[in-house]
Structure 1
Amino acid sequence: MVGSLPGLSATMATALLVPVTFYLSPIAAIAT
């Protein structure tokens, strides 16, 4: 899916996913 988006490379996807992962990690830790 990421590759089909224009202008969105794997590096951009990683740069966007890293902050989301750090934001969701504490929530997931609390939820469990």
Structure 2
Amino acid sequence: MLFEAQNALQAHTFRLIHIKHRPACEPTGATKPSS
């Protein structure tokens, strides 16, 4: 369970970083429905 929580946190952090490095023309996760 702890491992799963860590995994989710890592994925979330990675997603945030990935979105930050995206071009401005691309929509952020806020406008898109999260999968």
TM-score interval, normalised by the smaller of the two chains: 0.3 to 0.5
State the TM-score, normalized to the length of structure 2: 0.42
The structure whose RCO (Cα within 8 Å, separation 6+) is larger is: 2
Structure possessing the higher radius of gyration over alpha carbons: 1
